[in-house]
């Protein structure tokens, strides 16, 4: 049986940019467009040329893009009431955008026709038909977005269908049914799309859904199952209010679960990379819980789960994570058993004997550490140091003698300055250094690096990427345990470390010390590998 072909219409650059906290520069939009084209989406909606100068600038710059597969789309609305399409300034701007495809939206719900547009039902139908025909006669392929279609259909199904017929008469190549308010259930979308397909048999149907009920992906897939051949959405589900239907969930479901034929299927393994790229361009933190592409999507924490996954991976994974560019992760915690530790050790490159008596000792210690506030799920480097200490008896390169931090409010100078002194022992030599910085953690980091630099010059490559503080059991007030998580990099690798204490400086110091200790061991391990 032949696979059903489905077109992917990406509106990240237009509908996605309407999300709270999302703002793309023209350069970012151009880079995202190139990435979407490389991934293999069919349509890239670049923006609304008549709405703002940034979108106008984008379409001007986009003329230089060498898109290999995707068609660039300009977005706009039907003509205004009681004005010819040829006289409508907004439709003229859509032509000037010089894209091969134009998408325009029109009203499907009589409430919007009479109360928002303040025109007659008959004039609205003429606005739709005239606008589509005007763009078609000027050489554009037109996709018609039937705004609020499902709400309009529930209100007056005959009129909602008439709006689609008007767009069809004008020459539209696709009629996309929009759940603009994001309020429809799966059963409603299935039923309505089926009726539309039965009524309008000779034109492709699309769906454009929002996530206000948490069903954006589900109703989009339901629309495809009921006969739609095009699905609209955004990468990571960004968009107005609760967002758009999420293409990073829709695409793998269509390919892997529904066995549809998508042009981007051969690039599915790049899906997580695309998701991370759009997050970076939109200056958003990636959602670790995002289906398919999130960091936690294939993470196993419970001992029973980890043990089963070690024996048969798909026993606790609905797909092979590599198919979407993700990977299996084992989270080590106080819930971990022997199997979890074995899997985690293998993941981070350690060879451990499962019968080793030290392994039991390590597990007991791990559970005690987590009880004290430590957490190693995002601190692989600290965990590896701990494993090396217990299972290999590997000593740390740095021995702490002591440290001190002072914070001074220099009122006359209008500044706060921190001074840190660090006293460590490396081998049989002691190093005592002092550094100043604005913050106490920065001062500690600077002083520690100065102490280590004469022996380990590679420490100068290490820099902090992220610094997170979490207060545990905050009912204890200022006596609460504080967990500090640090993410570091040397330009090649990224690693996480953790510290916990009822003193924030002490917790930060532990995480800092683990970070540089890990770098030292990492370089030592790399040198040993090269010499073999």
Amino acid 334: pLDDT: 45
Which run of H or of E encompasses 93? helix 89-96
CA dist 9 and 195 (Å) reads 23
Q: What does the DSSP assignment read for 437-457? A: ESSHHHHHHHHHHHHHTTT-G
What does the alpha-carbon distance between residue 112 and residue 119 come to, in Å, rounded to a whole number?
9
Domains of the chain (ranges plus CATH)?
10-72+233-293 (no CATH), 78-229 (3.20.20.70), 299-371 (no CATH), 379-392+463-532 (3.30.160.340), 398-455 (3.30.160)
Q: Burial of 367 by CB count in 10 Å (0-12 exposed, 13-18 middle, 19+ buried)?
A: middle
Q: Is 417 exposed, middle or buried (0-12, 13-18, 19+ CB in 10 A)?
A: middle
Query: What pLDDT, on the 0 to 100 scale, is given for residue 491?
Result: 81
What pLDDT, on the 0 to 100 scale, is given for residue 531? 55
What is residue 417's predicted lDDT score, i.e. its pLDDT? 93
**Mean pLDDT per segment of 10 residues, for the chain of length 532 residues?**
91 92 88 94 93 87 92 95 92 94 96 92 96 97 97 96 97 97 95 96 96 96 97 95 96 96 95 89 84 83 52 70 83 55 61 68 73 73 80 78 91 88 92 92 91 90 83 63 86 85 90 91 68 53
List, in order, residues 6 or more apart from 327 with CB less than 8 Å away. 298, 321
E-strand ranges in 293-398 read 299-300, 329-330
Phi and psi angles of residue 497, each rounded to the nearest 5 degrees, phi first: -135, 160
> Contact, 264 vs 1, CB < 8 A?
no
Q: What are phi and psi of 180, to 5 degrees?
A: -60, -35
Between the alpha carbon of residue 99 and those of residues 34, 45, 61, 519, the distances in Å are: 15, 10, 12, 51
Q: Calculate helix-pair angle for 157-170, 121-137, nearest 10 degrees.
A: 20
pTM equals 0.70
């Amino acid at each position: 049986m032949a696979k059903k072909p489905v077109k992917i219409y990406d509106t990240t650059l237009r509908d996605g940019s309407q999300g709270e906290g999302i703002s793309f520069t023209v350069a970012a939009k151009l880079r995202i467009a190139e990435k979407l084209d490389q991934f293999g989406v069919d349509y890239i909606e670049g923006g609304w040329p008549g709405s703002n100068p940034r979108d106008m600038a984008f379409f001007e710059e986009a003329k230089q893009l060498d898109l290999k597969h995707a068609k660039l789309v300009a977005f706009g609305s039907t003509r205004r009431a009681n004005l010819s399409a040829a006289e409508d300034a907004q439709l003229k701007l859509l032509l000037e955008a010089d894209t091969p495809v134009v998408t325009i939206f029109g009203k499907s719900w009589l409430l919007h026709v009479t109360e928002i547009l303040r025109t007659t039902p008959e004039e609205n139908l003429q606005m739709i038909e005239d606008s589509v025909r005007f763009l078609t006669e000027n050489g554009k392929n037109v996709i018609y977005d039937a705004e609020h279609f499902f709400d309009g259909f529930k209100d007056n199904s005959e009129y909602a269908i008439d709006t689609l017929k008007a767009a069809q008469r004008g020459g539209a190549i696709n009629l996309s049914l929009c759940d603009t308010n994001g309020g429809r259930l799966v059963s409603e979308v299935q039923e309505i799309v089926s009726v539309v397909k039965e009524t309008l048999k000779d034109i492709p149907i699309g769906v454009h859904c929002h996530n206000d009920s948490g069903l954006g992906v589900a109703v989009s897939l339901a629309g495809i199952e009921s006969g739609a051949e095009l699905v609209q959405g955004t990468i990571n589900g960004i968009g107005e209010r609760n967002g758009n239907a999420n293409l990073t969930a829709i695409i793998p479901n269509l390919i892997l679960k529904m066995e549809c034929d998508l042009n981007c299927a051969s690039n599915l393994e790049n899906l997580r990379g695309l998701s991370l790229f759009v997050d970076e361009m939109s200056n958003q933190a990636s959602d670790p819980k995002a289906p398919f592409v999130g960091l936690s999507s294939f993470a196993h924490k419970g001992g029973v789960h980890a043990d089963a996954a070690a024996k048969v991976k798909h026993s606790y994974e609905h797909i092979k994570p590599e198919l979407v560019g993700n990977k299996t992760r084992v989270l080590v915690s106080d819930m971990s058993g022997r199997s979890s530790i074995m899997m985690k050790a293998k993941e981070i490159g350690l060879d451990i004997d499962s019968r080793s008596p030290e392994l039991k000792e390590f597990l007991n210690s791990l559970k005690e550490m987590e009880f004290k506030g430590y957490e190693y799920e995002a601190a692989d480097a600290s965990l590896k140091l701990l494993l090396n200490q217990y299972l290999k008896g590997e000593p740390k390169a740095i021995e702490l003698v002591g440290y001190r931090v002072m914070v001074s409010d220099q009122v006359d100078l209008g500044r706060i300055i921190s001074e840190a002194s660090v006293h460590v022992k490396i081998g049989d030599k002691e190093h005592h250094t002092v550094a100043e910085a604005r913050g106490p953690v920065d001062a500690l980091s600077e002083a520690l690096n100065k102490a280590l630099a004469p022996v380990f010059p590679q420490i100068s490559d290490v820099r902090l990427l992220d610094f997170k503080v979490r207060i545990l059991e905050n009912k204890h007030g200022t006596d609460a345990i504080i967990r500090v998580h640090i993410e570091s990099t040397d330009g090649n690798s990224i690693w996480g470390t953790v510290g916990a204490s009822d003193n924030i400086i002490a917790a930060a110091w532990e995480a800092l010390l683990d970070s540089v200790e890990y770098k030292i061991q990492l370089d030592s391990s790399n040198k040993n590998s090269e010499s073999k």
